[in-house]
Amino acid sequence: MRVLFSTVSPASYMAPPRLGDEQINCGPDWENEKKDGRVISFRTPVGAYDLAALAARLPPEQKPDVVVCLADASRRNMPRNLRAFKCPRVLLVADTHHMQSPLTNMLNYIAAETFDRVVLLYDRHHAGIFRTAGVKNLFWFPGLTFPHDDATVKAARAAQRQSCVAFVGQTGKFHPRRSALLSMLSGTGIPLRHETVGQKEGLRVYGSSLIGLNTSLNGDLNLRVFEILAAGGALLTDRLTRESGLDMLFPATVGIFLYNEASELKEYAFRLLANTVVTRAMGEAGARWFDEHMSAECRQRDFRRLAIDGIQPAFAELGEVKPYFSGDAQRLKKVLPDYEATQERCRTEVNVTVFLEDAVPDGLAALYATMPRLKLVNAAQLSEPRDLLLTSSEVNRRHGTGVLLQRYFPSADTFVCLRSMSQFGGETDFGGDHFDLGRAGLSTENRINLLKGILGKYQIRRILVVSFSAQDFAYALIASILTGAPMGIFIMDDQLVYGKGGSLRNIAKQVFERSRLRLVISQEMKEAYEKCFGLPFAVMPPIVTSVAQCCENCWQAKLPSTRHLVVGNIWTAGQLNQLRELTRSGRLSLEWIGGAHNYAWMPSDEGLECDGIRRLASLSEPELAARIAKMPLVIIPSGMLDGSEDNEWITRLSLPSRMAFILTQTHTPMLVLGSPETCAARFVLTLGTGMCCSYEPGAVADTVRRMMEPETHAGLVARAQAVAGAFVMPDAGDWIWRSLAAGRPEPAPFDGIYPAGSDLLSRQDASVISKDELADAQEPKVHLPLII
């Protein structure tokens, strides 16, 4: 069978599959090439062109038996005049899951041309859209564009595989979710092999790795799935919708593991790497499936049947495709632009929510349900009272604020979560409905309208604001006015007194004045904020909700410690350099648990190791407690407060959340590096559970020696055991809500350490809103323009 293959991609990027005994490739990125007097390929114009006119130049013996056109949303390859061909004409539909108006443009192209077969490659979940638009002869052939022959596949399967998770592909601004997931894996210490290489070399990467990772761009069943299976790796890929066809392709014996959230991905990766024999067997089962169904001979045979006889491949039945709106193409045409816009949002955001009113037809709900990263909320759900949470970024375990919120509110399904920006590619580990408010250059009026559009659909009963940035305060003020719900605010990190947010104090004070409850994370922050704003605040330190898995410190003086443990995130290059200078002296070496962020300034693990710092994998809390309990002490890096550092605003008033964890779960002594006036140092010195010294190597070595003296160590542990109960409160989240309702802190275990102080109400009832306040939100006295 002679095939004329017109494609949008060059051979160097997405090489075309071999579909016929003889094949001529053409497209805007191909060269005019002959071999032994026969045409191998030829160049076409970019965009629309008359393919029949170009094919007429071919010699008679190379006239095609089948014409194949691969087109996608880029519209760089749009062959025309297909009706001039007398042989079967096949359209391969690629990538309708991203770019601008991909479905509308593809449907318009199909309507304007003559194709005998329309084949979906990666986006089976769009089959209902094509059927509703009246497209006939619709087929699905996943993996058809796999470009390698059988010899290449078998050569890629290495006898020995690296015990790692391999990913081949691009990252960057066009792949925010993928970038966030790879960063997360790297930060946990999971051996990650990330390569940006061509398809053939990529196959070798997967073939020499135990696990192959795939994360779809936007709900598509992409080619990487088949590359990993072909290479014999265990496939770890994101879960797609039922309409994608992923669930129906493979039997249970094939090595496929599906994840929804980042936490599931991490759990699977650890589990698969820990059970290499089983994992390898699953990968081998996947390779056998590929050989049976998708060898080069199978692909050519099944494509020939599809093109000539219209027979769907047996391994990938398209099945009955029901049209939306009872096949009303005009109705589809009206709603498709909104669908495409929402689809593009799903590419850049992890949590996208669409509200469905009671009158919405079932067809529209079914249409939107084809997007795996979309959450549909119906009117009945909206009528239930909801809690509003406003934060700076995503709630997840990659920063202390997220850890505490997860701990305090383990059942978060009633929350509506608004965030001012996305720092982790939209990754959230928190229930409820999530909305990213990050919009550059929004006016005050637009911000108000944005929140009206979201909050107007909910019954908000109360608000908790965990603010940090300028936008947080602006949105908190707007939300309070729009909903009339009682509001509490919790400041965990300072930006207003010692940070760069001094100009925000005006808007922050208005938010504080509206709040029935004002919480801060440390006594030092309470004193600074009460002095700055003239309002009372209450302390809620980092706490734990359970000590069921407590691991008592078991270190003994007879057990020498050659390495010491550093726990916590390091937020700036300057802070990390202080540790590196300490370890370069050779007086001690460190193991660092933390660093969930791979900043541009972060050295490689090898570079840190050369300086005496070993970066360890992220551990679960039980694993972390068990590890810490074996150590004589834990080092907490803080600041010197001498004007030479770039993060004093963090270290002066903020109390690292891990310190309460170490105290309550292990009773292990803590050594704070930095000034005794930092919040972290005052915590251990006041409680008598640790010591503090500068970063000077001699001072550190001397303090470590003193803390490891048996009598001193026993005293520090005993003191930790005596005070730990003050930082354990099983109902922490409920305590916050009870305190908000009362307008003052309710009794708490930590009252003996941090007295609750006076009534926090700044007026008779901060939840009562005057009739004119909503309109006043745009008046100068609210000062929202300062935030733009």
- Quote the strand ranges of 485-582, DSSP E: 487-491, 517-520, 538-539, 563-567
Give the relative orientation of helices 679-687 and 657-666 as an angle to the nearest 10 degrees: 20
Q: What is the pLDDT of residues 338-377, one digit of tens each?
A: 999 999 989 887 778 888 877 788 789 999 999 998 888 8
Give the residue from 48, 104, 97 showing the smallest Cα distance to 76: 48
Contact of 162 with 209, CB cutoff 8 Å: yes
Residue 148: Cβ within 10 Å count? 21
Residue 402 has pLDDT above 80, yes or no: yes
Taking the CB of residue 251, how many other CB atoms lie within 10 A of it?
8
- % of the chain residues with pLDDT over 90: 67
In this prediction, residue 780 carries a pLDDT of 29
Write down the mean pLDDT value for the chain: 89
- Residues 691, 600: Cα–Cα separation, whole Å: 33
pLDDT higher at 541 or 14: 541
The answer to whether residue 779 scores a pLDDT higher than 60 is: no
As a whole number of angstroms, the distance between CA 751 and CA 744 comes to: 13
Q: CB–CB of 168/205 below 8 Å?
A: yes
Chain length of the chain: 788
**Looking at per-residue confidence, does 661 or 251 come out higher?**
661
Residue 55: the pLDDT is 96
DSSP 608-663: HHHTTEEEPPP--HHHHHHHHHTSS-EEEE----SS--S-HHHHTT---HHHHHHH
Residue 422 pLDDT exceeds 50: yes
Question: According to the model, what pLDDT value does residue 767 have?
Answer: 35
Single-letter amino acid code for the residue at 415: F
Instruction: Read off the pLDDT of each residue in 715-729 and give the average, rounded to a whole number.
Output: 96
pLDDT in tens, 244-274: 999 999 887 786 899 988 888 999 999 999 9
Residues 405, 432 contacting (CB under 8 angstroms): no
Task: Give the separation between CA 276 and CA 281, rounded to whole angstroms.
Answer: 8
Q: Which range among 202-206, 421-425, 515-519, 656-660 shows the weakest confidence by mean pLDDT?
A: 421-425
What percentage of the chain exceeds 70 in pLDDT? 93
At residue 599, the pLDDT reads 66
3-class DSSP assignment, residue 119: strand
**pLDDT exceeds 60 at position 786:** no
Q: Which two tokens stand for residue 104?
A: 């509308």
Is 210 within 8 Å of 283 (Cβ atoms)?
yes
Q: How confident is the model at residue 357, as a pLDDT?
A: 77
**16 three-state secondary structure:** coil
State the Cα–Cα distance between residues 331 and 324, nearest whole angstrom.
9
Whether 118 has a pLDDT exceeding 50, the answer reads yes
Half-sphere exposure of 591 (CA within 13 A, CB side): 15
DSSP 575-613: HHHHHHHHHHTTS-EEEEE------TTPPPHHHHHHTTE
Long-range contacts (CB closer than 8 Å, 24 or more residues apart) made by 22-26: 22/62, 24/58, 24/62, 24/64, 26/51, 26/54
Residue 747 has pLDDT above 80, yes or no: yes
Confidence of residue 765 (pLDDT cuts 50, 70, 90): very low
Residue 356's DSSP bridge partners are 378
β-pairing, 38-43 with 33-35?
A: antiparallel
Q: Which of 310-324, 462-476, 565-579, 677-691 has the lowest mean pLDDT?
A: 565-579
pLDDT given for residue 645 in this prediction? 76
- CA 293-295-301 angle, to 5 degrees, is 80
Average pLDDT over residues 453-460: 90
Handedness of CA 571, 577, 581, 586 (dihedral sign): positive
Q: How confident is the model at residue 759 (pLDDT cuts 50, 70, 90)?
A: very low
pLDDT of amino acid 559: 65
Q: For residue range 81-91, what is the model confidence (pLDDT) as tens digits?
A: 999 999 999 99
Whether residue 551 is predicted with pLDDT greater than 80 in this model: the reply is yes
Lowest mean pLDDT among 185-194, 367-376, 710-719: 185-194
Residues 533-551 have a mean pLDDT of 94
* Backbone phi and psi for residue 67, each to the nearest 5 degrees, phi listed first: -105, 125
**pLDDT tens digits along 19-76:** 999 999 999 999 999 999 999 999 999 999 999 999 999 999 999 999 999 999 999 9
Predicted TM-score (pTM) of the model is 0.71
Q: What is the pLDDT of residue 353?
A: 84
- Check the CA dihedral 569-571-577-582 and report its sign: negative
Measure the CA–CA gap between 680 and 522, rounded to whole angstroms. 9
- Domains plus CATH for the chain? 2-140 (3.40.50), 150-292 (3.40.50.2000), 384-541+765-781 (3.40.50.2000), 563-727 (3.40.50.2000)
Q: What is the pLDDT of residues 231-249, one digit of tens each?
A: 999 999 999 999 999 999 9
Residue 571 CA to residue 654 CA, distance in Å, equals 13
Q: What is the pLDDT of residue 438?
A: 84
